[in-house]
Amino acid sequence: METKLIVWDWDGTLVDSFETIRQAYNAARTAFGLSAWSLEETQVNVALSGRDVFPKMFGENAEEASRIFYKTYENMAAATVVAKVGRKGLLKRTTDKGVHHVIVSNKRGDILRNECAALGWSHLFKAIVGSGDAEVDKPAAAPVTLAYAQANIPLEAKHIMIGDTPVDGHTAKAAGITSILLAGETREAEFLQDEADYIMEYKDLESFLSQYWGL
């Protein structure tokens, strides 16, 4: 029997926490003489996980930069994360129609789960997997594989990963599932071309899912 499952990205897809991320990165960047990022620069540059980004950005100072970043972020995160418009309703409606949901994010796993709990959403997901939970992070398939194992649902090619950056498209391809990238969230459609199976605006997503699965 066919199952219906969506693998969701978190930041930029279900929630908006980029201002908090920007402030945390800038605390670390300015501590080591790097220029502060604008909100737009933050959105473009943070698709990969911290454990992949910090060594490249800070070199030998990566460990201390990571400490500054997470201390700043943890002091703000749960209180400042904001659900994107309409997401909770979509999650509930599709759940009622038999769709399972999991999260696979490059945000550190414990912080991700705390943010999800702060929104009162934890019960909506069969698994919540973040950076550091699997051996490697997105765009590798490992965190998706872990999410399926935690959800105890076999992977099917018609399952969908929904995100907002090319990293999400690459992750879906690596895992062997279908990909949707949402244009107009952190990147316009022109910057997402050829990075996923489907590219659309959020306003068209629910009708697409209804047709795709016959909901």
Q: Do residue 34 and residue 117 come from a single domain? A: no
What is 98-153 written as a DSSP string?
TEEEEEEEEEEHHHHHHHHHHTT-GGG-SEEEEETTSSS-TTSSHHHHHHHHHHT-
Task: Print burial letters for 28-39: b (CB count within 10 Å at least 16), e (below 16).
Answer: bbeeeeeeebee
Domain boundaries, position 26: 18-80
pLDDT for 60: 92
H/E run at residue 169: helix 166-175
Strands, E assignment, the chain? 4-8, 15-16, 82-83, 99-108, 127-131, 160-163, 178-183, 198-201
Point out which residues pair with 180 in neighbouring strands: 162, 198
> What is the pLDDT tens value at each position of the chain, 215 positions in all?
789 999 999 999 999 887 888 888 899 999 999 999 998 888 777 766 777 888 988 999 999 998 998 888 888 776 778 899 999 999 999 999 999 999 999 999 998 999 999 899 999 999 999 999 999 999 999 999 999 999 999 999 999 999 999 999 999 999 999 999 999 887 888 888 889 999 999 999 999 999 999 98
Question: Any idea what DSSP says for residue 188?
Answer: -
Using the 3D structure, point to which of 26, 56, 80 is the last residue of a domain.
80
Instruction: State how many domains the chain has.
Output: 2
Cis peptide before 139 (omega within 30 of 0): yes
Q: Do residue 65 and residue 91 come from a single domain? A: no
Q: Do residue 62 and residue 46 come from a single domain? A: yes
Q: Do residue 8 and residue 88 come from a single domain? A: yes
**Contact assessment for residue 198 and residue 179, using Cβ atoms and an 8 Å cutoff:** yes
pLDDT for 141: 98
Q: Do residue 178 and residue 133 come from a single domain? A: yes
Tokens of 168: 């999400």
Does residue 162 come out as left (phi exceeding 0), alpha (psi in the -120 to 50 range) or beta?
beta
Question: Which CATH number goes with the domain that contains 108?
Answer: 3.40.50.1000
Q: For residues 39 and 52, what is the distance between their CA atoms, to the nearest angstrom?
A: 20
